[in-house]
Amino acid sequence: MSGALDAGIAALLLGVAFRVLLARDPLGAVIGFVALGLVIALAWVRLAAVDVALTEAAIGGGVTGLVMVRAAARLPKREGARQTADRGTNWIAAGLCVLVFIGLSAVVLGLPEPAPTLAPEAAAHLPGTGLGNPVTAVLLVYRALDTLLEVVVLLLALIAIWSLSADASWRGAPPPPGPRQPTEALVFLARVLPPVGVLVAIYLFWAGADVPGGAFQGGAVLAAMGLLVLLAGLCAPPRIGDRGLRLLVLAGPVVFLAVGMLGWAVAGAFLGYPEGAAKPVIIAVEAALTLSIAVMLALLVLGPPAGARQP
């Protein structure tokens, strides 16, 4: 039964992927892409990775989808339409892709048994961290540097996007993301959903210590709520030069870095946590991260601030 369900999900997944590939107009491709995100999230649930499923749904499908929808709307049709290479290239590419598929499948299906795993080791050290969710433990304790760098990736991507702005002094605001005349439904949603969303986000962040959820998922939901409000035109996008906004962006990285450096004092290692008091520190870091991630995700979707001369 579950096998059939999984096969169904896999088939659906490939079908939707082909639809994304073959869709003629950009919007169709993007809709397929968002749908694909949901199907993949389902697959993640089936793979017993609810944390990832939440992330995939919120970021992989949701926020990425939003970026692509906005792009599809702003690009002229021909720029996003399907244009493929000549027939010969197509066939060669298809042949090589099939080869890669065969090789990759063979390798993945032939991975050594028993599968190597770090789960026992992660479990063994879990009580020391005071956390219940092993994924959060990996993200914020065992491999905390990766997570710190990941936040830096967001920050740097934001700087990179802002650097594309015609407004070199970075004072202005990104253009409003929504349509000029938002539909009533959108406005209604934007008024009703955010309070619920904020609660969900707080829950995700808070619960992330012990059950699936965490800063990224919570941040993504918060970002989605903010973007919804902006889409409906309920308020204008913030000026990126705003000191408060910048502080929000920096809160996560700064707290994380500060905790990391404190580690030298309290645990003798960068990103080491104080013995026995790890959990509160981690929660504090996660709180700051959730805020910053939310703001950065939203700003990444909004794009560079408009130049002084642009409306």
Distance CA 100, CA 175 (A): 42
**Hey, which residues between 274 and 293 contact another protein (CB under 8 A)?**
none
Distance CA 225, CA 181 (A): 19
Is residue 265 a contact point for another protein (CB under 8 A)? no
Q: How far is the CB of 213 from another protein (least distance, A)?
A: 11
Stretch that binds another protein, among 188-196, 231-239, 261-269, 284-292 (CB under 8 A): 261-269
Choice between 280 and 307, CB closer to another protein: 307
Is residue 10 a contact point for another protein (CB under 8 A)? yes
Helix axes 278-302, 184-207, angle to 10 degrees: 160
Whole-angstrom Cα Rg for the chain: 22
- Structure tokens of 68? 């692509």
Number of residues that bind another protein (CB under 8 A): 141
Q: How far is the CB of 277 from another protein (least distance, A)?
A: 15
**Hey, which residues between 13 and 32 contact another protein (CB under 8 A)?**
13-14, 17-18, 20-21, 26, 29-30
Stretch that binds another protein, among 177-185, 199-207, 231-239, 243-251 (CB under 8 A): 243-251
Is residue 48 a contact point for another protein (CB under 8 A)? yes
Is residue 213 a contact point for another protein (CB under 8 A)? no
DSSP letter string, 224-272: HHHHHHHHTTSSPPPPTT-HHHHHHHHHHHHHHHHHHHHHHHHTSSTT-
Q: How far is the CB of 29 from another protein (least distance, A)?
A: 6
The correct pick among 192, 199, 236, 269 for binding another protein (CB under 8 A) is 269
Distance CA 105, CA 70 (A): 35
Q: Is the dihedral of CA 59, 206, 177, 149 positive or negative?
A: negative
The region that residue 93 occupies, defined by phi over 0 for left and psi between -120 and 50 for alpha, beta otherwise, is alpha
Q: How far is the CB of 66 from another protein (least distance, A)?
A: 10
Is residue 210 a contact point for another protein (CB under 8 A)? no
Q: How far is the CB of 102 from another protein (least distance, A)?
A: 8
**Hey, which residues between 168 and 207 contact another protein (CB under 8 A)?**
168-171
Choice between 177 and 197, CB closer to another protein: 177
The correct pick among 28, 125, 182, 193 for binding another protein (CB under 8 A) is 125
| Contact assessment for residue 142 and residue 269, using Cβ atoms and an 8 Å cutoff | no
**Hey, which residues between 56 and 85 contact another protein (CB under 8 A)?**
56, 59-60, 63-64, 67-68, 70-72, 74-76, 78-85
- Structure tokens of 281? 């520190």
| Contact assessment for residue 59 and residue 297, using Cβ atoms and an 8 Å cutoff | yes
The correct pick among 111, 127, 265, 311 for binding another protein (CB under 8 A) is 111
User: How many C-beta atoms surround the C-beta of residue 113 within 10 A?
Assistant: 6
Look up residue 311 and give its amino acid: P
Nearest to 134 by CA among 68, 249, 212: 212
CA angle 266, 130, 216 (to 5 degrees): 95
